[in-house]
Amino acid sequence: MTAISTIDRGPRVVARSVTVNAPADELFALVYDPRKHGLVDGSGTVRDNVQGPATLHPGAKFTTAMRMYGVPYRITCTVTEHRDTATEKVIEWAHPAGHRWRWEFTPAGDGKTKVVESFDNRPSKLGRFFESVGVSKQNAAGITETLSKLAARYETAG
């Protein structure tokens, strides 16, 4: 079992990290293409029918079917940050209410990558409501499960 670490990004930000036995380019490709988000989602909210570009870029929009508390809905996200360099790969998108999901991939040597996923509730119009109904705790559990699932996908038999 791979260890998931909590990252302190301040109040109203939930962030976790894991080191994955795969190159950053390969891992980045899973979230760079919104059609692949369901492959690693551990929250159980992301569905497979994504509409939008096959690859994300600043300002790109993608729409996906989601399900939360048993209720299906569709949401359109807008890419707010994209960085793809040899030392760091970042993709971030905002939901319509303003909260953001962010992925960071940093090469960690020996073909491994440090992956950080975060949920930033600070810019959200629903931030206080989310706090009152426990969305941060729910997102922390979902992020932990997502990163665990991602790491397990690349574990090698020891």
Q: Which tens digits make up the pLDDT trace of 50-74? A: 788 888 999 999 988 777 777 888 8
Distance of CA 151 to the CA centre of its chain: 14
Q: Output 128 or 30, whichever has higher pLDDT.
A: 30
Confidence of residue 4 (pLDDT cuts 50, 70, 90): very high
Asked if 46 and 53 touch (Cβ cutoff 8 Å), the reply is no
Res. 157: pLDDT tops 60: no
> Within 10 A of 145 (CB to CB), how many other CB atoms are there?
17
pLDDT at 48: 66
Predicted TM-score (pTM) of this structure? 0.90
Mean predicted lDDT score pLDDT of the chain:
88
Q: Please tell me whether residue 94 adopts helix, strand or coil conformation.
A: strand
Judging by DSSP bridges, how do beta strands 13-20 and 100-109 pair with one another?
unpaired
Q: Please tell me whether residue 19 adopts helix, strand or coil conformation.
A: strand
Model confidence pLDDT, tens digit, residues 114-137: 999 999 999 998 888 888 888 888
Mean pLDDT of 40-46: 72
Res. 45: pLDDT tops 70: no
Res. 156: pLDDT tops 80: no
Q: Domains in the chain, ordered, with CATH?
A: 5-153 (3.30.530.20)
In sequence order, which ranges of 10-126 are alpha helices (DSSP H)? Answer: 24-32, 37-40
Record the tokens describing residue 11, joined without a space: 């109040």
The DSSP call for residue 51 is B
pLDDT at 145: 92
Record the tokens describing residue 89, joined without a space: 């790969």
pLDDT at 158: 40
Judging by DSSP bridges, how do beta strands 89-94 and 61-68 pair with one another?
unpaired
Task: List the beta bridge partners of residue 19.
Answer: 114
Please report, rounded to a whole number, the percentage of residues in the chain having pLDDT higher than 90: 58
Q: What are the CA-CA distances from residue 49 to residues 34, 54, 65, 66, 76 (Å)?
A: 10, 12, 6, 9, 12
